[in-house]
Amino acid sequence: MNSPLAYQRQRLWFAPMLVGIIAIGGWLRTTCAQEFISLPPTVENTIYETELLPSQLDSSDIRPSTAEESTVVTPASYPAMYETPNDIGWPSEVRSGYDDGFVVACPRQLNIDTSDIPFVWRVNGWGQLRHTEFNSQGTNPDQNQFQLKRARIVISGSAFTPDFQYFFQLDGRSSSGDNLRLLDYYMTYDIGHHRLGYEPGTLGFKTGKYKIPYSLARYLSGKQFEFTDRSMSSMYFDANRSLAWGLYGTVDGLIIPWYWETAIFNGLVTGGAETGSSGNLDDNFAYSARLMAFPIGDWGSSELADFEWHDTLATRIGAGWADSTINRSGMTEFDSIRVVDSGQTLASILPLSVDQYTVNLYAVNHSCKWRGWSQTFEYYFRYINDIEGAAIPNLFDHGFWFQLGKFVIPGRLELLTRWSRVDGNSGTLGVADECSEEIAGGFAWYIRDQHAKLTADATYINGAPINSDSLDMSPGDIGWLFRTQIQFAF
């Protein structure tokens, strides 16, 4: 029998559609009324005039028009056509042309403020090349390989108005062979600023495939990691990506600003799942929400490491929640939940009579920076209940990751340590508690901040409860894991 919460979710299926229609409708109403101005020809352009048909043309029929015969606007006079002349034009430092390929070149980094420019197109890329060595002390095999962990190309920007933004991210990795996938693709629309006159970021709409708003570990970009990758526990309690509709914003007036985001999505870890009638997704939506605030100090631009070398303490706090009712008809999600400490899937140890259960995830986190020190702590709780088809008690797992970093050479060399642990009774279906543990240490050498760095870490794993190519961990792993990674980004 479905729980009351499941019925409530079914009644709310139309809510994201209504929000999306209102958001898109408001955007279209504004953007469709905009006037697009074509740039007139410059004096450098050669304009050819003829009254003959193309079949009648020969070289003697074509003549360039003179400056007097054309409507001439020199490059210097372009700004006169616009309200903000300083925003129009190509920076003098930039060169472009063809040199065994089309080239755009600049001798230095420019500080280009695009906050008020409606049409923006930005390209970024980053990659991580890793050597992995695993010395197994259990039944799993050893490993010794070079791997391409992440090769990302990002295209982002805005269109028609700075309040309408887009983000596309392509991802390639050696664990997927030669395949290239569209990892993220979403749009955001700042309804509050564009339609209601609020401050930017007060209320916005977001839709596409993106990271589910739930945990700090998933919120962080892989470029910003201090270690080579996320912790064992953060992957165990992960919601990852999915196709979603959501809202985001900021709440002021509560002593400190709170940043919030909520979403309705297809399910936990369903980002790459096939949709439609031929797919393996059930009919149950999932829900999530996340809060974040900075109670003390100015956090700075770096997410984890204290590049700013704070003289006074800076802190960050947050909390998240995600909920999904999972039916056996959606095997993509039904077969994704794992148990501690074996790392087997829950579906593989459940009786075949079980056809549905509900997963509730909760997370709280705290971070701080001070004089080169950085500390991050996140605790997770997972409840599995409403198990239908067998007399199985509610299952409860919990865990955390605690990470410390210290710059011994400011902005260059950072020493690292981390402890991660998962406890719970899911692996025994409620009979007894079992645990998995990860203890790690390492260093990061920042050659050019996060744009170029070398990271090395050593990790002891005692029963990995996950199957993660990114972390180089397989279910039941016991032993030492050594990873050395080079990161580059532009």
Write the pLDDT tens digit of every residue in 128-182.
999 999 999 999 999 999 999 999 999 999 999 999 999 999 999 998 777 889 9
Residue 306 lies in a domain: yes
Mean pLDDT of 250-256: 90
Sequence-separated (6 or more) residues with CB below 8 Å from residue 369:
297, 299, 300, 306, 308, 310, 313, 314, 375
Within 32-178, residue ranges assigned H as helices are none
CB 121 within 8 A of CB 143: no
pLDDT value at position 41? Answer: 45
Our measurement of the distance from residue 454's CA atom to the centroid of its chain's CA atoms, rounded to an integer in Å, reads: 22
pLDDT value at position 175? Answer: 84
The 3-state DSSP class for residue 30 equals helix
127-136, 272-281, 450-459: segment of lowest average pLDDT: 272-281
pLDDT value at position 89? Answer: 62
pLDDT value at position 423? Answer: 98
pLDDT value at position 12? Answer: 52
Q: Is the pLDDT of residue 8 over 60?
A: no
CATH number of the domain that 400 lies in? Answer: 2.40.160.10
Q: Which of 405, 447, 448, 446 is nearest to 310 (CA)?
A: 405
Q: Which of 91, 81, 85, 156 is nearest to 119 (CA)?
A: 156
| DSSP collapsed to 3 states, 431-462 | CCCEEEEEEEEEEEEEEECECEEEEEEEEEEE
Q: Residue 354's pLDDT band (boundaries 50, 70, 90)?
A: very high
Residue 5 lies in a domain: no
pLDDT value at position 26? Answer: 53
Angstrom CA distances, 105 to 90, 92, 272, stand at 12, 11, 36
Q: Is the pLDDT of residue 286 over 70?
A: yes
Q: Residue 22's pLDDT band (boundaries 50, 70, 90)?
A: low
Q: Residue 17's pLDDT band (boundaries 50, 70, 90)?
A: very low
CB 261 within 8 A of CB 248: yes
Mean pLDDT of 195-221: 97
Mean pLDDT of 342-355: 96
Angstrom CA distances, 267 to 53, 141, 162, 312, stand at 61, 32, 31, 41
Q: Residue 253's pLDDT band (boundaries 50, 70, 90)?
A: confident
Residue 338 DSSP code? B
pLDDT value at position 446? Answer: 98
Residue 228, domain extent: 113-489
Number of H helices, E strands in the chain: 7, 20
pLDDT value at position 25? Answer: 54
Mean pLDDT of 405-413: 98
Q: Is the pLDDT of residue 5 over 70?
A: no
Mean pLDDT of 229-236: 98
Strand locations in 160-285 (E): 161-172, 180-189, 203-211, 241-251, 258-265
Residue 402 lies in a domain: yes
Sequence-separated (6 or more) residues with CB below 8 Å from residue 327:
282, 283, 284, 334, 355, 356
Residue 351 lies in a domain: yes
Which strand (E) or helix (H) includes residue 232?
Answer: helix 232-236
pLDDT value at position 99? Answer: 87
Q: Rounded CA gap, 438 and 419, in Å?
A: 6
| Domains in the chain, number | 1
Residue 460 lies in a domain: yes
Q: Is the pLDDT of residue 422 over 70?
A: yes
Write the pLDDT tens digit of every residue in 65-118.
444 444 444 444 444 444 444 445 667 788 888 888 888 888 888 888 888 899
Q: Is the pLDDT of residue 290 over 70?
A: yes
Q: Rounded CA gap, 353 and 389, in Å?
A: 5
pLDDT value at position 51? Answer: 41
Residue 71 lies in a domain: no
Mean pLDDT of 382-410: 98
Residue 408 lies in a domain: yes
pLDDT value at position 15? Answer: 52
pLDDT value at position 111? Answer: 84
pLDDT value at position 52? Answer: 42
Here the tokens at position 309 are: 């070398």
Residue 104 lies in a domain: no
